[in-house]
Amino acid sequence: MNQKTPLPPPDAPREVLTVFAHLASLDTRLRTTYRKLRASVQQGEKIRGELIYVIANREKEIEQRTLELREANETLEQLSREDSLTGLANRRWFAQFLTRAWQGALREGQPVCILIIDIDDFKAYNDHYGHQNGDRCLKLVAEAIQHTVGRASDLVSRYGGEEFVVVLGNTPLEGGLKIAEQIRVAVEGLGIPHQSAKCHPCVTISIGVTSALPTRDTQPETVLVAADRAMYNAKNDGKNKVAYSTTARTGTFQALCLPGDATPRLS
C-alpha cells in the first residue's frame, strides 16, 4: 500500500480525468481502510498479548490457590485425626485405623495386638495438682508411650480422658506383653510425683493386653473389650501392672496379672 496512485497525462480528455479522479478517491479510501485494519490488527495483537499474560498469571494464581487449598485440607484432615492436647491420634481416627488393620490382618493371616492403658488414680492427681498439671502429665505419658512403641505401622491413640490405646500389627501376645512392660517401665521412670495416689508415690499406669488372629466371625471390638477387661484386672490387682487376656469364639475370657517388676511371660 506504499505505491502512489498514477497521475493522468496532462492532455488527457475529461472522461479520463474523471476516471483518474475516481481511482484517486478509491485509493484514498482503500489506504484509509488499510490503516484502520492494520491499527485494528496491531491493537488485537496487543490485546492478545495482554490476554496471554493475564491468563498465564491467572493460571499461576489458580495453581497457587489450589496448592494452598490442598495444604489447608491436609492440615484440616490431620487436625481431625489428632487429639488436640497430646498430638496423638484421636478416638475417631483410632476406630478407622483399627478397622483397616483388622481387615488387613484377616487377609494376611496375621495377629492384631491391642493395649489399653489407663493412668492410675488420675482423678486424684487432677484434684491435688490442678488441671494444668494434669494436662502436662497426660502429655508426658503420651510422649513416653509413643516413644516406646516406635514403629510407624503401629498406632498410639488417646482413647479418652486418661486412657490410651495402642494397635500393634502382626504382633502375637508375647510381643504385646513385652512392649506393654516397656511402656509401664517408661511411664514409671518419668518420676512424676503423685502424693494422692493410693498405691504408688509417682504416676503409674495399668495396661491390658490382648492379641488375636482375625476371622470372618469376629469383630475388632471383641478384642478391644477383652483388652479393656484385662486392664481393669491390672487395676484391681494393685495397679502399675500389665494384665493379658485371651478370647475364644465362645467369648470366654481369661486374665492373668503380671507383677510390675517382672518380665511378662505367658503361663
Residues with a known catalytic role:
162
Sheet with 112-119: list strands edge to edge.
155-160, 163-169, 112-119, 205-212, 242-247, 253-258
**Sequential DSSP letters for 18-79:** HHHHHHHHHHHHHHHHHHHHHHHHHHHHHHHHHHHHHHHHHHHHHHHHHHHHHHHHHHHHHH
**Residue 163, Cβ neighbours under 10 Å: how many?**
17
- CA 264 – CA 208 distance, rounded (Å): 12
